[in-house]
Amino acid sequence: MAAKTKKKARAKKSASREPLAVALLKKDHREVEGLFKKFEKAGSGSEKLNLFKQIALALKVHTKIEEEIFYSEERGEVEDDMLDEAQVEHDGAKHLIAEIEAMKPGQDLYDAKVKVLSEYIKHHVKEEEQPGGIFAQAKKGDEDLNEMGERLKARKQQLMAQMA
């Protein structure tokens, strides 16, 4: 328990040194990971449905603010191939989300599709967060990531209100 608390405190400390845009996007990643974990433990269909709604909303808003603001403004700072692949991965995730939204918990492949979505997102998040990845390259660039963070935050609030 003590070790866990210590680890948490360290993670928090390193997150606070990040420029705001990166800190916010990473926070979104951790939130979605938590929701996927809860989904795995969910017992009833209604619990799963409720959690999936939260996952879908979080992912739709997150991918939109990344595409509209972060990816688009990081063109030229981050390698084109990486941004292109990230966009294709977003599109793949959205497609899978739509498939799951058209289903009901308990149906064949429902749980499998949610699991595959979580693995897909895990892979994508790694590409963004790993050393030399999208966030690392963005931090080396000239964009003001603190100012961008304010805009990401405002757009997220707007989209959450619209899409919820």
Residues that bind Fe ion (CB under 5 A): 66, 128
Q: Which is nearer to Fe ion, 74 or 128 (CB)?
A: 128
User: Residue with structure tokens 């000239």?
Assistant: 142
- C-alpha pair distances (Å), 120 with each of 15, 33, 73, 156, 163: 24, 12, 24, 22, 23
Strand intervals (E) in the chain: none
Task: Look up residue 116 and give its two tokens.
Answer: 């595959």
State in angstroms the smallest separation of the CB of 106 from Fe ion: 30
Q: Which is nearer to Fe ion, 33 or 111 (CB)?
A: 33
Q: Which is nearer to Fe ion, 76 or 106 (CB)?
A: 76
Which residue lies nearest Fe ion, judged by its C-beta? 66
Q: Which is nearer to Fe ion, 47 or 139 (CB)?
A: 139
State in angstroms the smallest separation of the CB of 133 from Fe ion: 10
State in angstroms the smallest separation of the CB of 61 from Fe ion: 11
The single-letter DSSP state of residue 71 is: I
Task: Look up residue 34 and give its two tokens.
Answer: 């938590």
